[in-house]
Amino acid sequence: MNKENMKKGINRYLKVKYGVTVDDAKEYEIFNALSLTVLEDIVDDWKNTSESYNSGRSANYFSAEYLMGRALGNNLMNLGLYDDAKDVLSELNIDINKIEEIEEDAGLGNGGLGRLAACFMESAATIDVPLNGYGIRYNNGLFNQNIEGGFQTESEDNWLKYGDPWSVRKEREAQIVEFSDMKVRAIPYDTPIIGYGTKNINTLRLWKCEPIKEFDFVLFNEQKYDKAVSLKNRAEDISRVLYPNDSNDQGKILRLRQQYFLVSASLKDIIRKHKQKFGTDFENISVNNFVQLNDTHPTLAIPEFIRLLVDEEGVNFKDALEYAKTFFGYTNHTILAEALEKWNIKLIKKLFPRILEIVKDIDKELIKELKEKHYTKEEINEFRIIFDRQMRMANLAIFVSKAVNGVAKLHTDILKDSELNNWYKLYPQKFQNKTNGITPRRWLRLCNPELSSFITKLLGTEEWVKNLDLLKELKKFEDDDKVLEELMNIKLQKKTQLAEHIKNEEGVELDPNSIFDIQIKRLHEYKRQLLNAMYILDLYYRIKENPDMDIPKTSFIFGAKAFPGYVRAKSIVKFINEIAELVNNDEDINGKIKVVFVHNYRVSYAQRLFPAADLSKQISTAGKEASGTGNMKFMLNATPTFGTYDGANIEIVNEAGEENNYIFGLRVEDIDKIKEEYDSTTYYKKDKNIKRVLDTLIDGTFNDGGSGDFEDLYNSLLEEGDQYYLLADFKSFKETQDRVFEDYKDKKKWAKKCFANLYSAGVFSSDRTIKEYCDEIWNIKKTSIK
């Protein structure tokens, strides 16, 4: 598309959709008009890609969430149209940055699992892999987070308030999903996933839940207005909010409805396409299709697939089960018991009794197989899918799936050696590792154009954007003073940009010449934001005692959302903000350290934070973080990792060298040795600094609004045994941070650490991860359209 056609398209859509000219248009109207112009230009390639994929074997990614971020800038960049769009808008006296800023982050995901799904979809399109995404089109995302009086508050995430120009409603391909008490319509909305430098356009299909009937006319006519629309509201609730609070049975039932709605509609869609090609021959359904289950959320797909084949297509149960065993793969994202879903069977029976019957039959097949292999009753109980009135979703996924993969080497080793060791002994051939990755397009090329241009200049090519392994060729510049100086000038530029944004958004002034020490991720106890906060408070007290303490000026930046029902996580948010209030307003500290908790952390905020970081805090308890991908985004933007020997931190250190990163604390094997005798109170009694910090939770230093939340944090560390080993790792944390401060003073030494992380980051491209899935699990070939 040339600039003239782009300009004509913008004017046309403004006129047709809004009845305005460019001079009168609001920013969101211009955003929509430009987006629709680009969508119109790619629609033929999109159609050709879908037809090409449908003629061969394709993979299907089932995920409860896709944390996509903003679409416009990324799509323009991938299509090679960003500069043209910037020029066209400039000719119309419009700033492209303002148009990008008006776009809401799509409310379709929350954390690393959802962002991984988004990276995978973009990588598959970029490398011409036939991968279809299936999810739910939530009307509202998780929530918008505000900080009021230091507390997290939540409001609805109305991401669709300006519309969604990047999705196409496909009414003709709607499906009916049935629960025991209601039927609903699943309406597909297709979003193009535009790859970088390719004509292939992949598809993310998101289902919106709508009622069969808009309202009951008879009831409405009888003036029973609420009853007349009750079924409509119940249907729309299913796709209303991402991860509704499930602290009671009503919330759990809604979660189950969501999961079944997603998988039933998606499988019916796959079967519909299969029947168009092969009729009712289902023997080869797994020859042409594969479904990857992204964690346990979509595991109901397994019994639903069998139900559809048995009840609606006349396949016998044993054949259907065998087909399923080559049709599904399962990705495990965590060893945390709370995330390995177990559902009370009374809820399953209430919503879909036939699914319960099928799972019982699957369970019988599993028991039969184990008995034939001479397992004892006690051993079999560990494997069973239905046991103790619960349906164990991970067991169901492992038994039926063709392959089971972890997402980092350590994580997969832990699954094989301990957490899923019984399954690994039974099916060693099923277990694989697929270390996570990130797309270099969004997480470097788009969010850090300054560094991207510098890399291109050094390498003499932009090929690295599609082949991140080329970053290794930068190593030859590692002792070039001019290159290192330029790298740090770019870092300062990104820090200055972030500081300005934080001042506008949070009202806190940061010095771009200070260390930007950043911890951004979902808020959970095992991720140990509390340990970081404790360290900062201890540092504050040490500076008060020794105002001449020789450390570089440091800005500690946090960003995280705590789930609304997760009281302890919300307490940590409040504690961090209380520390920020104390530190930032103490004149004695003289700005030597500052603390800021950025509100409503999301992809678009992350795109500012990752490029500006001097230090990447990845401090989860060893063995608890399956992988992490935030650590990779920091690394790709030339940032050393400060972290535990956990998840993908291990692989980062293996690539970039431990000398260029900062590993601290207990390792998995250390925890295994001490966990039986671990007594957190000994640290409290022996270390006056730990005692001083923890006492602030109960001595009135900080105000938790009378909630008792800070006392609960105190008790979690001392009365409940400190299950995430914060106190055991506190001393090592301090010593390692002291090394950071010392190393940072040597500008060249620090620059070399940053540069080493940059040129070592190539292996963490999600392009590499997708290729591994294709070759080792999905058996999918590259399919390029002309």
CA distance 368 to 380: 10
pTM score, two decimals?
A: 0.96
Fold assignment, 56-71+106-436+770-778: Rossmann fold (3.40.50)
How confident is the model over 246-267, as a mean pLDDT? 96
Catalytic residue, candidates 115, 521, 561, 594: 521
Ramachandran assignment for 496, one of left (phi > 0), alpha (psi -120 to 50 degrees), beta (any other)? alpha
Is 441 a residue of the active site?
Answer: no
What is the pairing mode between strands 183-194 and 175-178?
antiparallel
Domain ranges of the chain: 1-55+77-103, 56-71+106-436+770-778, 441-764
How confident is the model over 593-607, as a mean pLDDT? 97
Condensed to tens digits (0 to 9), the pLDDT of residues 181-197 reads 999 999 999 999 999 99
Is 274 a residue of the active site?
Answer: no
Q: Which amino acid is at 481?
A: D
CA distance 192 to 43: 9
pLDDT above 90 for 687: yes
How confident is the model over 297-322, as a mean pLDDT? 97
Name the pLDDT band for 594 (thresholds 50, 70, 90).
very high
Catalytic residue, candidates 273, 411, 522, 570: 522
Condensed to tens digits (0 to 9), the pLDDT of residues 337-392 reads 777 899 999 999 999 999 999 999 999 999 999 999 999 999 999 999 999 999 99
463 with 470: CB under 8 angstroms? yes
Name the pLDDT band for 260 (thresholds 50, 70, 90).
very high
CA distance 772 to 412: 15
How confident is the model over 446-463, as a mean pLDDT? 98
Condensed to tens digits (0 to 9), the pLDDT of residues 323-334 reads 999 999 999 998
Condensed to tens digits (0 to 9), the pLDDT of residues 710-730 reads 999 999 999 999 999 999 999
3 with 153: CB under 8 angstroms? no
pLDDT of residue 229: 84
pLDDT above 90 for 566: yes
Catalytic residue, candidates 70, 274, 527, 561: 527
Q: Tell me whether domains 56-71+106-436+770-778 and 441-764 share a fold.
A: yes
Residue the block writes with tokens 């293996």: 654
Please report how many Cα atoms fall inside a 13 Å half-sphere around the Cα of residue 136, on the Cβ side: 30
Is 501 a residue of the active site?
Answer: no
DSSP conformation class of 261:
H
Is 252 a residue of the active site?
Answer: no
Is 608 a residue of the active site?
Answer: no
Q: Find the angle CA(80)-CA(86)-CA(89) to the nearest 5 degrees.
A: 135
Is 522 a residue of the active site?
Answer: yes
Q: What is the CATH number of domain 441-764?
A: 3.40.50.2000
CA distances to 271, 330, 343, 572, 681 from 299, rounded to whole Å, are: 17, 8, 12, 32, 42
| Cα of 672 vs its chain's centroid, Å | 29
Catalytic residue, candidates 633, 753, 768, 771: 633
Per this entry, what is the length of the chain?
786
Name the pLDDT band for 246 (thresholds 50, 70, 90).
confident
3-state secondary structure 504-517: HHHCCCCCCCCEEE
Catalytic residue, candidates 49, 126, 296, 629: 629
Condensed to tens digits (0 to 9), the pLDDT of residues 196-227 reads 999 999 999 999 999 998 877 788 888 877 88
pLDDT of residue 220: 81
CA distances to 105, 568, 767 from 195, rounded to whole Å, are: 19, 41, 11
Average pLDDT, the chain: 96
Which has the higher per-residue pLDDT, 220 or 636?
Answer: 636
361 with 406: CB under 8 angstroms? no
How confident is the model over 526-538, as a mean pLDDT? 98
Q: Find the angle CA(491)-CA(496)-CA(499) to the nearest 5 degrees.
A: 125
Residue the block writes with tokens 């609004």: 705
